[in-house]
Chains A and B, each alone.
Chain A
Amino acid sequence: MGKNLRTRGFILAACWLLFVTSMSVQASTVNVKIGLLTEKVLTPPALSNLDPVLTDEGIQGAVLGVKDNNTTGRFTGHHYDLKHIEVSVGGDVVAAFKTLLSEGYQYLVVDVQAPTFSRLSMVAKKSNALLFNVSASDGALRNSECSGNAFHIIPSDEMRADALAQFMLKKRWKKWFLVKGTDKKDVDFAKAIKRSAKRFGMKLVEEKTWKFDHDARRTAQAEIPVFTQGSDYDVLVVADVKGLFGEYLLMNTWLPRPVIGTQGLVPRAWHRTHERWGAVQMQNRFYEQAGRWMSDVDYASWLAVRSVGEAVTRAKSVDVLDVKKFMLSDDFSLAGFKGVKLTFRHWNQQLRQPVLLATPRSIVSVMPHKEFLHPRTYLDTLGYDAPESNCHF
């Protein structure tokens, strides 16, 4: 395991804030240990070198969350520590996870692939540790493979697809042409798209797979018009999670049609142009710390750390069972700069939250719109609702 692990201690130092002499400091301080586990994956080939590859994605979000928790902790007598372990490509994530558990870390922010997440939640069951999923959007983790130890902070594929479908319904752009890649993630996202299409009365007029037998860079103008010819449709929906060809669809389609999905108009947990509901402050604080904009995974990591902080503060306990109980109670609510309080769904422990529909330089809409009615909360019109869920803890 040794060389696969790189432990970073800098965070611990960064998390202590300077005390001002006038501060009223609690006499005794209780420590809360939060672990962050990152599984590295091979970086997909980039279409362009426009966006830098992030080496600290998720870490910066968690660091800011711990900083915020510690600012509050000064008044409540809690101190939050963060330990980060990064497992390189093909490394033993379970071993790293067990290391954190053996060191007493019971709150674990986890940025790993979906199959790894399932394995970790099996391990966590034996020790009551809580996992916070900040990157895997797979529906299965929230259904058949769900675990009572896992909280899902990042929106699922189904929540994202529903957000798109609701907006398309509002626009009356109901005829969809679906183009998907061959990767498993593309197939999963396409599945979520088809589920949403059915839910919101969209019509899938055509479905095609982009097979990568062309060099899209050289032939986009020639290949894509031909590829998108045929049926008439309102929008082209693309499922290309890694971003290998989707960008080339824009402005290259046979018919003049907008592109939505993983490129074009994209459903996001967070976006750098989001500035309503106090989000500007968050954007500024993050940028100042990280020197770059906050990503979806950073936002989810921040929320994960904050939800632990919020539950510890209000439940007045650092015990993992008390904290979990509080997080699932009606008293729990998290402020996440989206204009509504964020809470957990009891049936699969997914964080309820609005989804932002964004183009590269603007927010087009924040979903769901309140016109989508639901007996509990309109936020539950996104993703798997209680009656649809087959998650059993």
Chain B
Amino acid sequence: MSKVYIALLLAAFSTSIFADKLYITLEKDNALAVVDGETGKLLKTVPLGQRPRGIAFSKDQSMLYVAASDDDTIQILDAETLKVVGELPSGEDPELFKIHPNGRLLYVSNEDDNIVTVIDLQTKTALTEIAVGVEPEGIAISRDGKWVVNTSETTNMVHWIDPLEQSIKDNTLVDPRPRAAEFSVDNKQLFVTSEIAGSLSRIDVATKQITGKLHFKVAGVDKELIQPVGVLAHPNNKLLFVALGPANRVAVVDSQAMKVLEYLLVGQRVWNLAFSPDLTRLYTTNGVSNDISIIDVDDLKVTKSIRVGHYPWGIAVK
């Protein structure tokens, strides 16, 4: 009886409306870790295919897609049972992928073959392959669905793909080893991280030209170790969060001024980022320290780190 009472009290005074769950791919464990976002408790770990990396929910959140890179497939999991219910023909070595806002098309980069594969999620077939630069990596899709971009790590370009024609319309040369890309919420700007250059570029979507650039500098950290990877735009269209890899920091960036507001110390080799649905928390996967960090977005403070398994890589939140 008292348990119910406490639960009711907790529910009443809890500031967070959503009890979110984090789904984290563990690259070396071939598994998926499920973590409670609010309490930071590791709820369970379920087996996946080999070298799982990219992860995302279907538009209706009933399915979870996971790129099992060494199995050359994207696994389809039932989001409730976390059982594998199917596969997508991703092509070889799938890594990062994104789902178009129409909920039907999935774009995945095939690093070894220099192509981006377009998959129809309804028919579970590969629609087409788009030839891009050497070692395609990051994929981003504008919220209005008009542009799909892909970064190629050795060609050092952003390829602008028109999703109506599935063809490249333009290319923007960026700093060496571009990794992740993210559109601003108003779809007017694209942000791209360059791992080797230690920089963040802002590209104007209309002209495809670079309009701003920022080089990260962290006191006491060798500039060679500052390797920006994952980037996430806050819906307020002002803040941008950038994971700095082996610099073990997340940079909080004013995206209009292209200035760093703060560097937050997280786990080692911070890689990918995700918000809680209510935007109060930011989660980071830290590949080398085998944990995730939780950041309070309002205070910009790191509140927790949770050990989840070997090489946490991708993260999806529900």
**A-side interface residues toward B, CB under 8 Å?**
19-20, 22-24, 68, 71-72, 75-76, 278, 281, 284-285, 288, 306, 310, 313-314, 333-335, 339-341, 370, 377-379
Residues from chain B with a CB closer than 8 A to the CB of A377 are 222-224
A-B contact pairs, 26 of them (CB 8 A): A19-B131, A20-B129, A20-B130, A20-B131, A22-B165, A24-B167, A24-B170, A24-B171, A72-B155, A72-B156, A72-B157, A75-B133, A75-B157, A75-B168, A76-B171, A281-B112, A284-B93, A284-B112, A335-B154, A335-B196, A339-B224, A339-B227, A340-B196, A341-B197, A377-B222, A378-B222
Q: A20-B131, A71-B155 are in contact. Are A379 and B224 (CB under 8 A)?
A: yes
Count B-side interface residues using an 8 Å CB cutoff: 36
In the bound complex, CA of A68 to CA of B246 (Å): 27
Could you tell me which residues of chain B, from 122 to 160, have a CB within 8 Å of some CB in chain A? Answer: 128-131, 133-135, 153-157, 159
Contact in complex: A22, B196 (CB < 8 Å): no
Q: A22-B166, A75-B171 are in contact. Are A278 and B135 (CB under 8 A)?
A: yes
Contact in complex: B112, A314 (CB < 8 Å): no
Could you tell me which residues of chain B, from 72 to 95, have a CB within 8 Å of some CB in chain A? Answer: 93
Task: Output the nearest chain A residue to B111 by Cβ-Cβ distance.
Answer: A281
In the bound complex, CA of A288 to CA of B133 (Å): 18
Instruction: Specify which of B155, B177, B197, B222 is in contact with A75 (CB 8 Å cutoff).
Output: B155
**B-side interface residues toward A, CB under 8 Å?**
93, 111-112, 114, 128-131, 133-135, 153-157, 159, 165-171, 173, 176-177, 195-197, 222-225, 227, 246
Instruction: Specify which of A76, A306, A335 is in contact with B177 (CB 8 Å cutoff).
Output: A335
Residues from chain A with a CB closer than 8 A to the CB of B114 are 71
Shortest Cβ distance from residue B235 to the other chain A in the assembled complex, whole angstroms? 31
Contact in complex: B196, A341 (CB < 8 Å): yes
In the bound complex, CA of A71 to CA of B173 (Å): 14
Count chain B CB atoms within 10 A of each CB in A22, A339, A377 and give the residue with the most. A22
In the bound complex, CA of A22 to CA of B170 (Å): 12
Contact in complex: B224, A72 (CB < 8 Å): no
Count chain A CB atoms within 10 A of each CB in B112, B134, B169 and give the residue with the most. B134
Contact in complex: B225, A281 (CB < 8 Å): no
Task: Output the nearest chain A residue to B154 by Cβ-Cβ distance.
Answer: A68
Residues from chain B with a CB closer than 8 A to the CB of A20 are 129-131
Instruction: Specify which of B130, B135, B223, B227 is in contact with A22 (CB 8 Å cutoff).
Output: B130
Task: Output the nearest chain B residue to A374 by Cβ-Cβ distance.
Answer: B222
Shortest Cβ distance from residue A26 to the other chain B in the assembled complex, whole angstroms? 10
Residues from chain B with a CB closer than 8 A to the CB of A313 are 156, 173
Shortest Cβ distance from residue A310 to the other chain B in the assembled complex, whole angstroms? 8
Count chain B CB atoms within 10 A of each CB in A19, A76, A281, A314 and give the residue with the most. A281
Q: A20-B129, A71-B155 are in contact. Are A340 and B167 (CB under 8 A)?
A: no
Q: A314-B173, A370-B222 are in contact. Are A72 and B153 (CB under 8 A)?
A: no
Count chain A CB atoms within 10 A of each CB in B157, B169, B176, B246 and give the residue with the most. B176
Instruction: Specify which of A72, A76, A284, A333 is in contact with B176 (CB 8 Å cutoff).
Output: A333
Shortest Cβ distance from residue A344 to the other chain B in the assembled complex, whole angstroms? 14
In the bound complex, CA of A278 to CA of B195 (Å): 11
Contact in complex: A281, B135 (CB < 8 Å): yes
Add 11 more A-B contacts to A23-B167, A335-B176 (CB < 8 A). A22-B166, A23-B131, A24-B171, A68-B134, A72-B154, A72-B157, A75-B168, A281-B112, A310-B176, A333-B197, A335-B196
Contact in complex: A278, B153 (CB < 8 Å): yes
Contact in complex: A341, B133 (CB < 8 Å): no
In the bound complex, CA of A75 to CA of B114 (Å): 13
